[in-house]
Structure 1
Amino acid sequence: MTRVTPILVALVILAGCEPREVIEPVDQSVRPARIFIVRENQATIKHEFVGRIEAAQTVDVSFEVSGPLKALPVLEGQTIAAGKLIAALNPRDYVLSMREAEVQLKLANQDLTRKRKLLTSRGISQSIVDDAQALYELRNLSLSQAREDFADTKLYAPFDAYVARRYTDNHVNIRSGEPVVRLTDLHELFVVTSIPENLFATITAERVMRLYAQFAFLPDERFELTYRENTGEAESVAQTYKVTLVMERPKSWNILPGMTATVHLELNMPRGDGQHVKIPTSALVADENKQFYVWLYDKASQLVESRSVKVGPADGEGITVLTGLKDGDHVVASGASQLQRGMRVRMLGKPSAKL
């Protein structure tokens, strides 16, 4: 025992003198984050409205004379060319009226000719000839009216049209002015929507970035729109203005009046003091006073510092910053609420300007 103990002590002392591997502590202040690059031209506002498709022109076609309907060759949903027969009345009564007017005019002409000869021989007075002349002119007008009524027994398409509706069936007695069919001009379509007064007052042609329509049954298609007109007075209850937009009728899809569309309006921010930019909503942080700020990233030092900002409206892609940022600033876009002043940030991937 007396010999072993000094040896063990010496071994323990030698082991304690050997150098140990030093484990460096992990720097807990370095956090990974995605970095967003601010770009001025991303400051846009998007709005959506419900729109209704209307035809560029809608006409309820009717006869100017009455009578039994003899022919109605058009069908609902049919496209017809300009000048095509739409409907026709039985012309029998109007043919008889026209022939009677022709006979009356012939008799009046004969009477006028005879009385003019008598006037030459001083057999009658001038006033009798004048009466015969007036009667002749009256009969002539009657014949013109009878011919016009006969022509009105047929209806023709005034333009290339789509038959939206038939109001009656064949062989029915039709009164003058009673609608027979509804025709629509579908060369171009109107998209009618309502815009609130507070937004309508700030829209100018320079601010409109894009204007298009989408349909629920065609989610991948976008149809460009152009402005046509708007009402001059706001609707009294909702305080909205009715705006009419024009959409070219697509050849591949059967878009018809009465369908519902979503109108998308993309606007630039209105001009004002400073630049307007857009950032991801995840980059925005609020302090205890509900004031907003972001974390600016310095690429050289990898440090972050807070920057107060004034924000505007948000949409599905991000939030608009009115003041506090400029083009080219690097902003922490993820995990911003976990950062503190003086922290270092390690970029995840490359900085991106995509929202």
Structure 2
Amino acid sequence: MDIWTPARVGALELPHRLAMAPMTRDRSTPEGVPTELNVEYYRQRASMALIVTEGTQPSADGQGYLLTPGIYTEAHTVGWRKITDAVHEAGGHIIVQLMHTGRISHPSNTQHGRQSVAPSAVRPQGAMFTASGLQEMPAPRELSVAEIGEVVRQFRQAASAAMAAGFDGVEIHGASGYLVHQFLSSNANRRTDEYGGTIANRIRFAVDVVSAVADEIGADRTGLRVSPGNPYNDMAEDDTHELYLALAAALSPANLAYLHLVHTGDEELLRELRQNWPTALLLNRGGATIDERIADLEAGLADVITVGAMALANPDLPERIRRGAPLNQPDPATFYGGDHRGYIDYPTLEPVLT
């Protein structure tokens, strides 16, 4: 299929097949409220067929990093509404990614300063950047079964708030070593109850969260992001292939809007998920060129391709690709935190009217 062919993704009719992947940028207020800088950042990128926002915590316990946005207070909702209005006025679509970081956190990065929560009390290897510098991540507290139910409710409530904020849908972050992925893993999840051990038990939390969100806002506005075999944030999976095929099979009857796959090298798994997933497949092939990503579309391996740093550095990326124009190169030094530099000042092909 051609990149410029319109695509249907759940309830959304997209004008083409190039979407913006979620990227943490650490530029919200300390309370997690989006700012006018954030409004301009997303507005500039509204020509992408679909924007998936940076990871957004569904609760106070869901925060792991400094200056990340939330979607669980009225102030959060009001702040996000300015962004969704701006994107819609510019003709775009925008979905919020709900990201509970679980054990990938540090108490000093949160408003309440509490110990992080996780499937099991297993400390992750690595350090977390905080206002006072890098600090070792402490061991999390294991969630009780009752508390797991409360976390699921928080995802549901956040999804409801997202609709009130004007979003077109919700993506649940089940990748990159955060809470949903922690339940899927075989090293972070050492539970022996109904949420641990077997594959059927380890996928249960993901299924519970997705089901709650889909029930709240509609399956056709609900997506899930996964990254099979990704070791990021001290993850390990002993049974990746079987695990993700089982997860896909459990979720297939719901007819979600999409599955967002971060491809980590298993071509056989990619093809099996593509064959067995009943709705849209969004594919993020990290490190690939734009031509390589378009080739995935043309080969029928995906319905939509998502790009991160390319969209970060090129607010008008679709137009640049149409024209065969050169691309701006992203500046990693300005990826996280800071001001407008490396955020809203990347040049466009045409002068921006002010």
TM-score normalised over the length of structure 1: 0.16
Q: More relative contact order in 1 or in 2 (CA 8 Å, sep 6+)?
A: 1
Q: Which has the larger radius of gyration?
A: 1
Of Structure 1 and Structure 2, the greater strand share is in: 1
